C-alpha cells in the first residue's frame, strides 16, 4: 500500500503543478518570473548550476553529475563552461551541435541520459517551468505570437528577447480559432518527458534505404487531405518528427556520423538559423539542444571527408576520455555491480581496486619525464603523494598527451570478467586474484586487442598483482597488530618525542629512572628507513614533521596518527616488520598449535568485523600473505 500511496501523491503533485490560462495571463507570469522564457540551452545550464557547484583543488565539481559520472571532472567542467554556459548567454556556441567524442563505455551515453532525465525533473520545478501554446504538437513558445514589429517594444518592457517565428499550424489556429486575438490564445504548462515525446527526442539511424526523413521532420497525414483539401494545409501534416517533438528541450542524435547525408542537411539550418524545413511550409522555428556522440575513429573519418565541411563547422567536439583515477574507477565498478544481478556476491576488499589499477594502467601513456614510470604516474593522478614530485609535475603530466585516456580497457570488459569469474567458480565470494586471473584469461577473446597490446596488458596485470601484494600484506599487518591504532599511536608519539628533542637539540628524560637521554637515533632511523628516507634526508624530514606539528597547533588542531600520510605509512611498515616472523609462522603452519590457531581466528575475526571480508575471503587472504612472506 505504501507504493500505491506514493503513486497517488505523485498524481496529486502533477495536478497541483498543472496550469492553463490565456496568453494575457501568461504575460503576468513573465512579469513576475522572466526566467520562464529562457532558451533550451539556458534551461540546461541552469539545471546543472542549480544542483550546486563545488570547487576542489581548482577544479569545479558539478553536483548534478554526482554518483553517476566518476573521474571526469575536467571534461565535465569543459562541457559546462565552454558550451552550456556561453550558449545560455546566447553566444554563438548555441548554434552548434554538441558532439561528445570518446572511447566505448567512457560515459558519453550516461551524460546524455542524465541530461534527459534531469530535464524531465527540472521542468517540474518552478525554476525550470515550461509553458507552451495549448494543443501545439511542437509545444511552441507562446512568445512567438508577438508580431515582429512589436518585439523591440516587448524587449523594452519585459527585458526578454524573442527569437523564432510562429509555426504554420499555430498561424492558422490563431486566425481560425482565435480571430487573431493573441491575448485569448490558451497557454498551458508542459512537462518534459521522453516517453511522452514532450521536449525530449531521440533519433537513431537505421538502414538508409528504409529510413524516412519523416522520422526527423514529420510527414503528411494522407487520410486528412480529403478533409482539408491540400497537402500544404498544416492541419494535414503530422508534426511528430524528433526535431518537432524535441522543441524547447533537447534531442539525442545517436551515432550521428553513421547517418545518411540527407538526415544531416536539416541540421545545418537548425543549428545556424534555428529553423528547419518540413513539407510544403515555410521554415519552422525550433529551439533545442542537439547532442550527438561518437568514437574517435568515426570522427576522424568524418572530418577527412571534404563533403562534411559545412556540418563540421557547426559542431563543437567535447572529448570524453576514460577516467584515469584508480579511486574513481573503483566507484564506476561499484555502481555497475549494484545495477547488475551479481550485487549479492561478496567481493573481497581491494578486488575492485586491483581491477581499477589494471584498467587505468592500460589507458596511461609513458611519460618522457625522467624517472616517471606508469605506477608513479597512476598514483599522482589519483591524488597520492609521490616522493620527488609535486602538483606542478602533475600538471605537466596532464598536458603531455592531449589524447591520453582515449584508449585502453573499458569498464564493461572488467565487469564482464568479474561476472565470468563468479559464474566459473560458482561461489558467492570473489577476491582480487580471481579478478586478475579472469582479466588475463579474457584477453585471448578480446577481439580488438592486438598481439602487442596483449603483451602490454599482461605486463600491467603483473604490475597490478605486485600492487595487490603490498596491499594484502598491509591488510594482514593491520589485523595482526592487537589494538593496531593504539600500538601505532604509541610508536608515533615515541618517534615524535625523539624528533622534537633532536631538532631542538634537547635531551629526553627516562620516565622510569628520570635520567636524561639523547634522542634515540636507532628508533628514528628504523621508522624512516621504512619509507626510503636516506641518512642525508633525515634532518629535512624531521624538520618538516616539526613544522607540520606547529602548523596544526597554530590552527588549534591536534596532530595525530592520520595527520601525515608518509609518517603513517612508515609506522605501519615498522610495526609489520617487527611482526613479520610471527605472521609467517602463524599463516604457513600446516598443523598450528592452540596458540597459533587462536591467533589466526582472532585475525580472521578482525578482518571480517573491521575490514569488510567474509570468512572465506579472510582465510584466502591469510594463506596468500603467508605464501608471499615465505618466498
Give one DSSP letter per residue of 321-343, joined into a string.
-----HHHHHHHHHHHHHTSTTT
Q: Which residue has the cell 599511536?
A: 489
Binning the chain into helix, strand and coil, the percentages to the nearest 5 are: 60, 10, 30
- Which pLDDT score, from 0 to 100, does residue 569 have? 85
Vertex 206: Cα angle to 203 and 207 (nearest 5): 150
Query: 406 with 324: CB under 8 angstroms?
Result: no
Q: Are 625 and 350 in contact (CB under 8 A)?
A: no
- Between strands 429-430 and 346-347, the pairing is parallel
Residue 386 pLDDT more than 90?
A: no
**Confidence (pLDDT) at 84:** 95
Please tell me the predicted confidence (pLDDT) of residue 185.
Answer: 96
Q: Is 485 a residue whose pLDDT tops 90?
A: no
Helix or strand run (H / E) with residue 499:
helix 484-503
- Segment 193-202 shows an average pLDDT of 93
Helix (H, G, I), strand (E, B) or coil at 560: coil
The stretch 181-185 carries a mean pLDDT of 95
**pLDDT beyond 70 at 82:** yes
Residues 6+ apart with CB under 8 A from 63: 51, 52, 53, 54
pLDDT digits (tens, 9 = 90+) for 352-365: 999 999 999 999 99
Grid coordinates of 188: 498551458
Q: What is the pLDDT of residue 1?
A: 57
Q: How confident is the model at residue 136 (pLDDT cuts 50, 70, 90)?
A: very high
CB 442 within 8 A of CB 417: yes
Closest CA to 403 of 106, 148, 175: 106
Q: For the chain, report the end-to-end CA distance as a whole number of angstroms.
A: 61
pLDDT > 80? residue 454: yes
What does each C-alpha distance from 72 to 316, 400, 557 come to in angstroms? Answer: 18, 18, 33
Q: What is the pLDDT of residue 186?
A: 96
Confidence band, pLDDT 50/70/90 cuts, at residue 588: low
Supply the pTM of this predicted model.
0.83
Nearest Cα to 142, choosing from 188, 173, 178, 196? Answer: 188
The pLDDT tens digits for 563-576 are 888 888 888 888 77
Residue 491: what pLDDT?
A: 87
The confidence band for 448, taking pLDDT boundaries of 50, 70 and 90, is confident
For range 379-393, the mean pLDDT: 87
The pLDDT value given to residue 307 = 79
Of the ranges 53-57, 180-184, 425-429, the best mean pLDDT one: 180-184
pLDDT band at 56; cut points 50, 70, 90: confident
pLDDT score for 297: 84
- Ordered by where they begin, the domains of the chain are 17-319 (3.40.50.300), 326-467 (no CATH), 490-568 (no CATH)
- In this predicted structure, the answer to whether residue 223 has a pLDDT above a threshold of 60 is yes
Q: Residue 351 and residue 17: Cα distance in Å, rounded? A: 48
Task: Supply the mean pLDDT for the chain.
Answer: 88
- pLDDT, residue 357, reads 96
Summarised one tens digit per residue, pLDDT across range 268-323 is: 888 888 888 887 888 889 999 999 988 888 888 888 888 778 788 888 999 999 99
Instruction: Determine the pLDDT at residue 429.
Output: 82
Among candidate residues 377, 357, 379, the one with its CA nearest the CA of residue 439: 357
Q: What backbone torsions phi and psi does residue 220 show, to the nearest 5 degrees?
A: -75, 135
- Residues 572 and 412: their CA atoms lie apart, in Å, by 36
Q: What local confidence, expressed as pLDDT, does residue 344 receive?
A: 76
pLDDT of residue 426: 65
**Residue 540 CA to chain centroid, in angstroms?**
40
The grid coordinates of residue 194 equal 521522453
592 band by pLDDT with thresholds 50, 70 and 90 = low
Nearest to 238 by CA among 228, 249, 252, 253: 228
428 pLDDT above the threshold of 80: no
Residue 374 pLDDT greater than 80, yes or no? yes
Say if CB 114 and CB 69 are below 8 A apart. yes
Main-chain dihedrals φ then ψ at residue 471, nearest 5 degrees: -60, -45
Is residue 188 a contact partner of residue 182, using CB atoms and an 8 Å limit? Answer: no
Amino acid at each position: 500500500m505504501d507504493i500505491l500511496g506514493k503513486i497517488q501523491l505523485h498524481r496529486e503533485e502533477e495536478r497541483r503543478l498543472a496550469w492553463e490560462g490565456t496568453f494575457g495571463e501568461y504575460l503576468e507570469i513573465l512579469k513576475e518570473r522572466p526566467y520562464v522564457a529562457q532558451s533550451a540551452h539556458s534551461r540546461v545550464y541552469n539545471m546543472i548550476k542549480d544542483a550546486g557547484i563545488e570547487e576542489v583543488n581548482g577544479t569545479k565539481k558539478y553536483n548534478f553529475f554526482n554518483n553517476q559520472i566518476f573521474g571526469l571532472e575536467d571534461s565535465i567542467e569543459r562541457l559546462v563552461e565552454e558550451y552550456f554556459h556561453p550558449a545560455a548567454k546566447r553566444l554563438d556556441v548555441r548554434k552548434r551541435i554538441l558532439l561528445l567524442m570518446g572511447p566505448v563505455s567512457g560515459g558519453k551515453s550516461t551524460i546524455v541520459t542524465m541530461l534527459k532525465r534531469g530535464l524531465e525533473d527540472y521542468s517540474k520545478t518552478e525554476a525550470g517551468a515550461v509553458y507552451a501554446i495549448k494543443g501545439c504538437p511542437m509545444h511552441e513558445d507562446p512568445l512567438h505570437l508577438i508580431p515582429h514589429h512589436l518585439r523591440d517594444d516587448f524587449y523594452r518592457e519585459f527585458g526578454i528577447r524573442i527569437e523564432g517565428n510562429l509555426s504554420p499550424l499555430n498561424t492558422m489556429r490563431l486566425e481560425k480559432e482565435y480571430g487573431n486575438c493573441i491575448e485569448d490564445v490558451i497557454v498551458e504548462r508542459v512537462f518534459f518527458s521522453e516517453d511522452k515525446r514532450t521536449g525530449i527526442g531521440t533519433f537513431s539511424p537505421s538502414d538508409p534505404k528504409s529510413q524516412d526523413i519523416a522520422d526527423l521532420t514529420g510527414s503528411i497525414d494522407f487520410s486528412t487531405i480529403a478533409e482539408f483539401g491540400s497537402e500544404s494545409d498544416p492541419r494535414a501534416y503530422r508534426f511528430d518528427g524528433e526535431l518537432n517533438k524535441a522543441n524547447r528541450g533537447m534531442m539525442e542524435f545517436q551515432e550521428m556520423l553513421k547517418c545518411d547525408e540527407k538526415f544531416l542537411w536539416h541540421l545545418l539550418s537548425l543549428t545556424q538559423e534555428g529553423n528547419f524545413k518540413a513539407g510544403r511550409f515555410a521554415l519552422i522555428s525550433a529551439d533545442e539542444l542537439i547532442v550527438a556522440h561518437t568514437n574517435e575513429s568515426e570522427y576522424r573519418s568524418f572530418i577527412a571527408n571534404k563533403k562534411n565541411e559545412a556540418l563540421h563547422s557547426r559542431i563543437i567536439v567535447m572529448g570524453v576520455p576514460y577516467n584515469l583515477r584508480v579511486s574513481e574507477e573503483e566507484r564506476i565498478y561499484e555502481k555497475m555491480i549494484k545495477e547488475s544481478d551479481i550485487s549479492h556476491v561478496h567481493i573481497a576488499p581491494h578486488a575492485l581496486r586491483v581491477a581499477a589499477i589494471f584498467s587505468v594502467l592500460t589507458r596511461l601513456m609513458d611519460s618522457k619525464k625522467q624517472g616517471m614510470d606508469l605506477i608513479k604516474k597512476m598514483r599522482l593522478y589519483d591524488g597520492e603523494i609521490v616522493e620527488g614530485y609535486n602538483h606542478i609535475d602533475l600538471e605537466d603530466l596532464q598536458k603531455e598527451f592531449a589524447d591520453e585516456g582515449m584508449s585502453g580497457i573499458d569498464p564493461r570488459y572488467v565487469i564482464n570478467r568479474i561476472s565470468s569469474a563468479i559464474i566459473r567458480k560458482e561461489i558467492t565470494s570473489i577476491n582480487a586474484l580471481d579478478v586478475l586471473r579472469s582479466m588475463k584469461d579474457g584477453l585471448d577473446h578480446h577481439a580488438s586487442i592486438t598481439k602487442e597490446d596483449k603483451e602490454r596488458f599482461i605486463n600491467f596485470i603483473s604490475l597490478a598483482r605486485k600492487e595487490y601484494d603490498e596491499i594484502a600484506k598491509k591488510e594482514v599487518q593491520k589485523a595482526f597488530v592487537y589494538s593496531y591504532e593504539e600500538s601505532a599511536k604509541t610508536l608515533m608519539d615515541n618517534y615524535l618525542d625523539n624528533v622534537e628533542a633532536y631538532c631542538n637539540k634537547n635531551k629526553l628524560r627516562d620516565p622510569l629512572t628520570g635520567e636524561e637521554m639523547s634522542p634515540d637515533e636507532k628508533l628514528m632511523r628504523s621508522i624512516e628507513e621504512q619509507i626510503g628516507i636516506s641518512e642525508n634526508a633525515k634532518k629535512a624530514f624531521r624538520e618538516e614533521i616539526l613544522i607540520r606539528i606547529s602548523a596544526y597547533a597554530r590552527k588549534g588542531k591536534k596532530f595525530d596518527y592520520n595527520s601525515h600520510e608518509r609518517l603513517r605509512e612508515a609506522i605501519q611498515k615498522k610495526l609489520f616488520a617487527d611482526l613479520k616472523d610471527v605472521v609467517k609462522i602463524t599463516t604457513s603452519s600446516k598443523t598450528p598449535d592452540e596458540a597459533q590457531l587462536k591467533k589466526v581466528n582472532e585475525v580472521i575475526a578482525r578482518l571480517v568485523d573491521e575490514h569488510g571480508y567474509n570468512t572465506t575471503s579472510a582465510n584466502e587472504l591469510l594463506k596468500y600473505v603467508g605464501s608471499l612472506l615465505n618466498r
